[in-house]
Structure 1
């Protein structure tokens, strides 16, 4: 006789995912003013259901952020052995910018910076991205004074570049990603005027 544990766990995973998606949409609309009641209403559940999955609104915010960062780490790890190191880094930056375009997490990221899960997820992303940047640098695909911190800070820049454009094309950000990546290449490079930052 099969155990009921597995279906229950699958249901819990689906419910948690639905709550995270609803919370993300509500936070995008209302910012930190969004309440657990707002999120429960958007998900079509009672407040108690939210609290069964997340201890507090802050726990929910940290869960959203850490899962998105973990997704980027997974993308970086998946590209770590790609035969073309330069194309692998460009693909990662494309994934990162597209995620930023679809999910504006500016508010929730700043609200969860000190959460241990977010810190751990960010550390893992730095490690995974360091591999991509190091391979691209060793292959001569990017200039030799580019660091992982430089690339990390540029991940969302293509989307930021078009935020003040009225009614931009959905793919306009790709133009600025191409400009940024060309700036990473060694061809025609000039010395950088400041050393790379050290990120926490």
Structure 2
């Protein structure tokens, strides 16, 4: 394996290990636990991610990049409604694996740019679905971005709920996005 391929493999191992450790212990998980889970030394962690903030930003960037790619892939789908539902399901699964909603503050310019790119991709997906009549005409990309987290957030308030309960709330949410039976919304979406 070339040094470059080895470095990429190690980076991927570290990101996956960090997601698992953060899911278990929160962002306070020690770097040593992440390195151990990845089967690498702490020095390798710090070569890739000089600080824990850099590691968290890399996880967020990876997730945002994946969501953006999926939104782009789905934006011209023949079944535009199914495409939006697939996107929301993927986002909810990502969130179930590791909820990063506790993060606040600036994660860096690269993450902010990636989030803006994701917003454009989601807007294109939603615009396509609206044009095909699969979504109600007053739904925007911003609405869908804000709703991506709802299924998992609802389940947080149901102690002892089965891990897939979020799918029930995703179905309810998606029914509310459909044009059938829609009533006017009381406010404009946020910018």
Both structures adopt the same fold (TM-score exceeding 0.5): yes
RMSD after superposition: 1.7
List per-residue Cα deviations over 1:64-106 (Å, max 9, x = no partner): 1100111111111111221111111111111111111122222
List per-residue Cα deviations over 1:166-190 (Å, max 9, x = no partner): 3323332111111111111122211
Instruction: Find the aligned partners of 1:111 and 1:150 in 2 and give their Cα distance.
Output: 20
- The match for 1:3 is none
List per-residue Cα deviations over 1:101-142 (Å, max 9, x = no partner): 1222223xx246441121111111111101110011111111
Instruction: Find the aligned partners of 2:105 and 2:19 in 1 and give their Cα distance.
Output: 14
Query: CA offset at residue 26 of structure 1?
Result: 2.2
Aligned length, in residue pairs: 191
Secondary structure at the counterpart of residue 17 of structure 2? helix
- The match for 1:184 is 177
Query: CA offset at residue 32 of structure 1?
Result: 3.6
List per-residue Cα deviations over 1:11-36 (Å, max 9, x = no partner): 11111111111222222333343333
Query: CA offset at residue 56 of structure 1?
Result: 1.3
Bigger Rg, which one:
1
Instruction: Find the aligned partners of 2:162 and 2:24 in 1 and give their Cα distance.
Output: 22
2:126 equivalent to 1:155: no
Instruction: Find the aligned partners of 2:181 and 2:147 in 1 and give their Cα distance.
Output: 20
- The match for 1:132 is 125
Secondary structure at the counterpart of residue 124 of structure 2? helix
Instruction: Find the aligned partners of 1:94 and 1:33 in 2 and give their Cα distance.
Output: 28
Secondary structure at the counterpart of residue 33 of structure 1? coil
* TM-score normalised according to structure 2 size: 0.91
